[in-house]
Amino acid sequence: MKDINKKTAVFFWLLTAAYMGLIFHLSSQSTFHLPIHTKNIDKIIHTIAYIPLAFLLYLSMDRSGLKKHVFPLAFIITIMYGITDELHQSLVPGRNPAVGDVLADSLGAFLGSLGASFTKT
């Protein structure tokens, strides 16, 4: 591990936690009406929503001094969060968990981790 700027690391972890909280909050909504009614728009939204999460997780780990296996860790942790989010939705009236949503989250996890890998410090 290299020298780290603790303030920067804490900032990225707080940003990551806040974004996870936003996803949790949105998943807690019993009704979530989309302004666009295109087939599979929810899968596109899932993918787009999980890109920043993986990106932030990657940066949080990187800025905390972790330099090995950051890509797979950000990717796997993001997918795990997507799975727990679907389990959470199973407890919310009017919401249903879906394997397709986890697959879309996984695509976002890959894209976010990949994008963040280009910011390597």
By C-alpha distance, which of 90, 86, 85, 63 is closest to 74? 63
Average pLDDT along the chain: 91
Q: Is residue 49 part of a domain?
A: yes
- Residues 18, 33: Cα–Cα separation, whole Å: 23
Contact between residue 58 and residue 121 where contact means Cβ atoms under 8 Å apart: no
Position 57 in a domain? yes
Q: Residue ranges of the alpha helices (H) in the chain?
A: 6-27, 41-63, 70-89, 99-117
SS3 of 92, please?
coil
* Structural domain includes residue 74: yes
pTM for this model (two decimals): 0.90
Number of domains forming the structure of the chain: 1
Question: Is residue 20 situated within a structural domain?
Answer: yes
Q: Is residue 31 a part of any domain in this protein?
A: no
5 in Cβ contact with 63 (< 8 Å) = yes
23-33 pLDDT, tens digit per residue, is 999 999 887 66
Its domain, for residue 16, covers 7-26+38-117
Residue 1 banded pLDDT, cuts 50, 70, 90: very low
